[in-house]
Amino acid sequence: MIAKLLLQAVIISLLISSASAFEDADCASSKSVDIVNIQEPIKNIDDYTPARGRALQRAYQEAAARVTGLWVESSSRSETDIQQNLAYQSFNQLDKSELAGFVRPTVTDDSVKKIGDHDAVSLSLTVVVCVPKPDFLAKWRQAKAERERKPPQPVDPQHVEWFDAKSGEPLVWFWKGKNQPYSFFDNKGFHPKNGERLQPVTSKVREEWQAEEARRAQEVREQEERERLARLAKEEEEALRRKRDEEQRARLSRAPELCNQLAGNPYDTARPKEVGSASYDSLRADPLPAIEACTTAVQRHSSDPRYRYQLARAYQIREPIKALALLKRLTAERYAAAFDNYGWLLYSDRIGAPNIPAAVAAFRTGIQLGDPDSMNSLANLMIQGRVAERSPGEIERLLQRASQLGHAIAEARLSKYQEDQRARREQQIRDEQARRDQQIRDEQTRAMMFEMFKGVVQGIPRRY
């Protein structure tokens, strides 16, 4: 009978389960068994934890077998009494998954040893085996049945225990499809969505999941970094846009002032004295800023012809056709300063064949309107001999009038013209005096020659 009981205990294979360790009050009896040097080969580098679990299972099997046999041998009661003991009978009828809840191991040595060509887990431990009371076992079985009836629920693997700390058995089940992340559950069973059987976790599954989590975390960090860099780029772009907008608003607000400073004609009689201006030479050096500023100024002050004139003045440097369109409108509006610029476009070949009569007519209209530039330009053409004076002294009168209007170039030209005229008159006087002196010398020479001829004639003998 002892052999039969011993055989029954030995064939029970104790696996680690999710059951709690027993309390002493739950046991009809308990026995402490020392298990020495249980060895389990390690198949590969990932097999250490499973091998340790297998070693523990063997230790539990041996401890259960010994307790069953010792308990029977040490009893003073008859075999019939033993067989009729409900606690013993219940314990003997437990299946392999139920038995794991009634062992309490204490490992005294846990090492890895060399066995032939392979490593092996070597365990020595003390195992306390509990023979549960019938009423506790009934309650325990009822609780176990309820747990098994409970469908598996998803769990967060970051916040649950994966393995039983005493037995090493898995406490979590998983499912993983192709190209799908792991899904974890708190009980065995089937996946609630695809119906596939859940598998108990292993150390290898944990390592793969941790590697997958590490990759996912790295991808999240990289994505966050890309998003951060994108946000920075967007913020920088937005800051640059705001800066451009602010600069544009500043340019818009300053456009009239800049138009005056960059393209204002210093001799435009319609220009207020307090606003800026630019000489033609400075405007010619770089007309583009003036075009930009004056274009904006014209848009903001479309009714003021002065800004249109200053835009035409800037266009005249490099885009004479655009300047011509503006100047035609300005001359039609009788804007005085426009006639000088219009006259020079007509005089040049930049918009077609030169039209000197039309250019002179434009200058004379500007003169009638009091434009000092037109006075200076027409006088200059007369000085060069390209246009004839209408009356003597017209050049000087034009330059004097322009000088009186503050035209510095006309004033300098007048001074030079007057100096040239004085020099010319002085030269004419000298030339006239030299002519007269030469005439006197010529008359004296003729008189002397006459006297000489007369003497010669008188010295010739006469024949009667």
Are residues 396 and 349 located together in one domain of the fold?
A: no
Structural domains in the chain (count)? 3
Are residues 94 and 130 located together in one domain of the fold?
A: yes
Residue 306 sits in a domain of what CATH number?
1.25.40
Segments forming the whole domain that contains residue 306: 255-388
The Cα 28–Cα 136 span in angstroms is: 10
Place of tokens 């008859």: 78
Q: Residue 170's pLDDT is what? A: 86
Burial of 3: CB neighbours in 10 Å, binned 0-12, 13-18, 19+:
exposed
Provide the token pair at 254. Answer: 């300053």
The Cα 371–Cα 334 span in angstroms is: 11
Name residue 104's beta-bridge partners.
Answer: 128
Are residues 306 and 424 located together in one domain of the fold?
A: no
Q: How many CB atoms lie within 10 A of CB 275?
A: 14
Identify whether 248 is part of a domain: no
Are residues 303 and 411 located together in one domain of the fold?
A: no
Q: Residue 27's pLDDT is what? A: 82
Are residues 357 and 438 located together in one domain of the fold?
A: no
The Cα 197–Cα 47 span in angstroms is: 23
Are residues 305 and 364 located together in one domain of the fold?
A: yes
Alpha-carbon distances, residue 420 vs 82, 114, 412, 415 (angstroms) = 153, 124, 12, 9
Residues of the chain with pLDDT under 50: 1-20, 70-84, 86-88, 95-97
For 316-367, write each residue's pLDDT tens digit.
999 999 999 999 999 999 999 999 999 999 999 999 999 999 999 999 999 9
For 79-98, write each residue's pLDDT tens digit.
444 344 544 455 555 544 45
Model-wide pTM > 0.75: no
Are residues 87 and 17 located together in one domain of the fold?
A: yes
Q: Residue 16's pLDDT is what? A: 33
Are residues 384 and 259 located together in one domain of the fold?
A: yes
Domain final residue pick, 149, 177, 212: 149
Q: Residue 263's pLDDT is what? A: 95
For 445-456, write each residue's pLDDT tens digit.
988 888 888 777
Q: Residue 71's pLDDT is what? A: 44
Domain final residue pick, 134, 149, 164: 149
Are residues 12 and 37 located together in one domain of the fold?
A: yes
Domain final residue pick, 114, 149, 184: 149
Q: How many CB atoms lie within 10 A of CB 210?
A: 11
Identify whether 219 is part of a domain: no
